[in-house]
Structure formats: C-alpha cells, structure tokens
Chains A and B, each alone.
Chain A
Amino acid sequence: MEETLMDLDLKEREEYVINMGPQHPSTHGVLRFETCLQGEKVKWIRPHCGYIHRGIEKMSESLTYPQLVHLTDRMDYLSAHINNEAVALCVENAMGVQVSDRVKYIRTILAELNRIASHQLWWSAFGMDLGALTTFFYGLRDREKILDIFEESTGSRLLQSFITPGGLMADVHPNFQKRTREFITYFRKKLPEYDQLLTGNVIFQERTKGIGYMSLEDAINYGVTGPSGRGSGFHCDIRKIAPYSAYPLVKFNEVTYTQGDTYHRYLVRMREMWESLDIIDQLIDNIPQGPIMLELKAIKPPKGEFYQRVETARGELGVYIVSDGGPTPARIRYRTPNFSNLFIINKIAAEHKIADLVAISGSLDLVIPDIDR
C-alpha cells in the first residue's frame, strides 16, 4: 500500500529529503548525495557511490603489468599521468630496477603539469559551483595549453597512458622543453588573473570563509589527504614524506594552512599551482640524456607484496600489488584519494545551507570515477 503523507509521523514529515545526483550539475559526475533539508539548512548528507563502479581491481587481475596503466588512467582521469606513475613505480620497486634519470625528470614534469591542469579545471568548476560562470572559461583557456603539450608528446590529451612500468611509452617531442618553458612564463602571468577574478571577490570570500570547517583530527581520522587535508594543516604531501622520481632533487614547499575551511582549501590549490610551476622550472632546463625505457625481458615482479604511495592532484594514491610471480597481479588494490575524501562531507557540511554544501563538495575536488573505480 502506498504510504501517504498523513501516515508518516510528524518528525518524518518535517524531513525534506532531496537527492542531489546521480545527475546533478554540482556533483561533477554520477555521485548521489541523499540530503535532508530543513528549509534551506542541510540536516544530514548520506553519500551514495558506485554508479560508475567498473571493477577496475577485478579487471586488473587478468591484465599484465604494462596493461594496468590503461585502467589507472580511468580512475582519476584528471591526474592520469600521476596514476600511471604510481603503478609504474610500484612495479619497478617490486622488480628492484631503477629507471634512468631522464625518465624520472620527465615523469616529474609531466606529473606536475598534470597537477596544474587538474587544479585549473577544479578552479574553473569551483567558480561554477559558486555561480561565477566566467571562471570556467578562464581555467579551460589555460588548461588547453597543457593539454596541447601532452598531445604533442604523448599523443593524447586526457588519458595518456604514457608512463608505463619500465620507463615511458616514447620519448617526448623535441618541442616539449620549449613549449613547457613557454607555458611557465605564460601561466605565471595568468595566475594573478585568477586571483583578481575570484579570490579577491567579496561575495566569494563571504561564501567560502568559515564554511565547512574540517579539524585536523577529522582530516587524519577520515584520511582526508591532498589539498583538502592540507587546508586543515595535515602534512600529508607524499612528495615530502616519501619522495619518489625526481622530487628529492627539487626544492618546493608543502602548502598547508591550519584554518581548514573552504576558503583555505581553495588557497592551498591556488598556491600549489605556483609550487608546481617552480618544480617544473627547476627541472625543465636540465633533463639529462638517457634511455627512456629499461630493457627488461619480462615485466614480472617476483612473488611478494608491494605498496607504493604517490601524491596525485587530489591526495594520496596507494597502489598495492600482490604478486604470485606470474605475468598478472594476483590482486591489485588502489587506495584512491577521493574515496577517503568523500565521506567527510556529512561531518563538515551538515548544519550549513544548500549553497554551502555545493561549495564544500566543490572544495573537496571530487572525481567520481576515482571513488568508484
């Protein structure tokens, strides 16, 4: 029998539950927030994921190690290079081989370019979430330059699958250094424009300051990493904790704030773009010569279990390979940053307004395929 409004008791009738998603402009993908409202105020949020669960971990069990990179691209599609690098490093460490310095440098440069591109897209979409539609075009205008560099060197714009276990798929294009250097000078001029358009805006500051406070304890407890965690003062930058590739060679700062609100999560990403530019600046002019691919008979890690942590644009990515010595992993596990970052939303967005929920979920920078895998 259909339940009518009168059958519900008074308490339940006051609960006004709306589903934000799976198709909703502010969830940036197929994520569903079951949101309970009281007027404009959000009482609780229950995130539901799994709408884009493709079973990447299951699929990976039947793929060889070099094939894994094609699936990792499709987890956090905005940090494809960094995801690839995680798998590559894990397999290389398992086999106990070292790639050449050239590969390390190029990997780091690509990863940092990828991080900038990801933050640009986040900035664009974050402005949209807050209703400043113009940011989208400013962000994408500059992201295009990075995608062009990627396209020239890797042949692909979004899902490059360029970094593979043992090295790189191919050498970078001869123009790579020149264009990257051009991009650095170009983007250093354009970044202040971002601040002029959004950061300094009074409405923007009113909308974000003090909204969605995440304490350091909560960030650690929920495992919120990446810029979202660093906005609360969580020193979780894997590039500093466990440096890999060329990161030990470069000087950069781990951007942290202690305020932990939406505005400071925003600032972390803005400043990270500057840091990434500095990292690329230090590396781009002295890429050493060397082989781009190790000459390995077979990419087959020995029996054992191996873990590799890297810092993607959204936080800590862990790759856990369990090998039985065969050509395919016995089990592969991805500890993806967005999965852990998502579930704090109820804690930090409850008791705020609907508009704040959108701002907060935007400031966590969720990429849904990375949650669901």
Chain B
Amino acid sequence: MQVEQLTTVIQTLVPEAQPGISKQYPEFIIPAARLHEVAKHLKENPDTYLDYLFCLTGLDRKDGFHVVYHLTSTKFPHIVVLRVILADKTNPMVATVSDLWKAAEYFEREAFDLLGIKFENHPDLRRIFLDDDWVGYPLRKDYKDSFTLER
C-alpha cells in the first residue's frame, strides 16, 4: 500500500493522528488512549495486514516519553511506524499491544525495565535485564546513580 493510502486509512480511523517526526517510513503520532484500537485495526485490516512488529522502542525526549512501534506486513512490503507521546513524565502509561503481537510482550518488558514506561494490561510486567530491586530506570535522561560518569 502506498504512503497516501496508508495515510487515508489512518486519518479516517483517527482524525487527530499527526504525521510523524521521521521521514524515513510513513509515521503517525497516535494519541495514547487510542493506540490499542488503531493497532488492532491495522493488524486485522486485510489491506494493511501489519502482522509483524519488528521493533518497539521507548524514547526519553523533551516532550515526554515516546513509544515507537515499527510495523510491517508479511504480505505487503509496506512499513508503518506508530508513535505515542506520553507527556506525563511521572507516570508514563500506555496500553499494551502484547495481545496483538507476542513480540511486544518482551519489548515492552524491556521498555519498562530501562525507561519505566508502564504498559496497561501487560501479562507479566517485570524487569527483564536488571535486578528486581534495581532503583531507577537507566535509560532516562535524568537517571543518576553512584557510578554514572559525568561527561
């Protein structure tokens, strides 16, 4: 599907979706509340059929935490990037997509572990790399601990 068509699909679904930051792939900024619904639609819609989530990234940016979903299809060559901006930095929370793509379950655990982004309805939201009693979330920009080197 071409970029224009994808844009129409998403625009009709979420009129408030904005074009994204990166120009590399068609990217859309989706309101956090509607993410799960959009993702479900994009996965099940036979025209988009985005059945393969190949990357889920958490970012700590100035305007809040971003969660970036890189989606592609095994039927079509198109790639769609969804982005959720979580402006509330104290309690970033977004619905999980692990029920749609199993891969997301572990990517989300990683994002939770390193950035502290919480995923609602996640089946098993535990730390994945760090110890269970680790304090803080290392990939946050304001993260400080006793052995962080100051540049």
Interface residues, chain A, with chain B CB atoms under 8 Å away: 49-50, 53, 55, 57-58, 62, 93, 218, 220-223, 225, 234-235, 241, 304-307, 309, 316, 318, 320, 322, 330-331, 333, 335, 339-340, 343, 372-373
Contact = CB atoms under 8 A, between A and B. Distances in A.
Interface string B89-101: 0000000000001
A343 B139 contact: no
A322 to B, nearest CB: 6
Contacts of A330: 61
B24 A305 contact: yes
Interface string B4-35: 00000000000000000111110000000000
A29 B57 CA distance: 26
Among B51, B53, B105, B129, chain A packs the most CB atoms within 10 A around the CB of: B129
B142 to A, nearest CB: 13
A372 B139 CA distance: 15
11 contacts: A50-B128, A50-B129, A50-B131, A58-B114, A221-B103, A306-B22, A307-B25, A307-B55, A318-B70, A320-B68, A343-B105
A106 B55 CA distance: 29
A49 B106 CA distance: 11
Contacts, number: 83
A333 B59 CA distance: 9
A306 B139 contact: no
Contacts of B57: 320, 333, 335
B128 A316 contact: no
B1 interface: no
A306 B24 contact: yes
Given A304-B22, A333-B57, 16 more contacts: A50-B127, A50-B131, A53-B130, A93-B24, A220-B51, A220-B52, A223-B103, A304-B23, A305-B24, A307-B55, A320-B57, A320-B68, A322-B59, A335-B55, A343-B106, A373-B129
Contacts of B114: 57-58
Contact of A305 (B22, B54, B127): B22
A309 B54 contact: yes
A234 B59 contact: no
Nearest to A319: B55
Given A221-B102, A223-B101, A343-B106, A307 B129 contact: no
Contacts of A221: 51, 101-103
A111 to B, nearest CB: 20
Contact of B22 (A241, A307, A309): A307
Contacts of A220: 51-52, 74
How big is the B interface, by class?
Answer: 20 to 34
B138 interface: yes
B99 to A, nearest CB: 11
A236 B29 CA distance: 27
A361 B114 CA distance: 26
B123 interface: no
A59 to B, nearest CB: 10
Nearest to A54: B129
Interface string B43-69: 000000001111101011100000010
A320 B51 contact: no
Interface string B103-138: 101100010001000000000000111110000001
Contacts of A305: 21-22, 24, 68
Nearest to A328: B151
Contacts of B110: 339
The 9 closest A-B pairs by CB, nearest first: A223-B103, A50-B129, A53-B129, A305-B22, A335-B55, A221-B102, A333-B57, A318-B55, A222-B102
B54 A339 contact: no
Nearest to A235: B74
Contacts of A320: 55, 57, 68, 70
B46 to A, nearest CB: 16
B16 to A, nearest CB: 21
Contacts of B70: 307, 318, 320, 335
Contacts of B138: 55, 58
A372 B103 contact: no
Among B25, B52, B127, chain A packs the most CB atoms within 10 A around the CB of: B52
Among B21, B106, B131, chain A packs the most CB atoms within 10 A around the CB of: B106
A225 B52 CA distance: 11
Contacts of B103: 221-223, 340
B82 to A, nearest CB: 13
B55 A331 contact: no
Contacts of B24: 93, 305-307
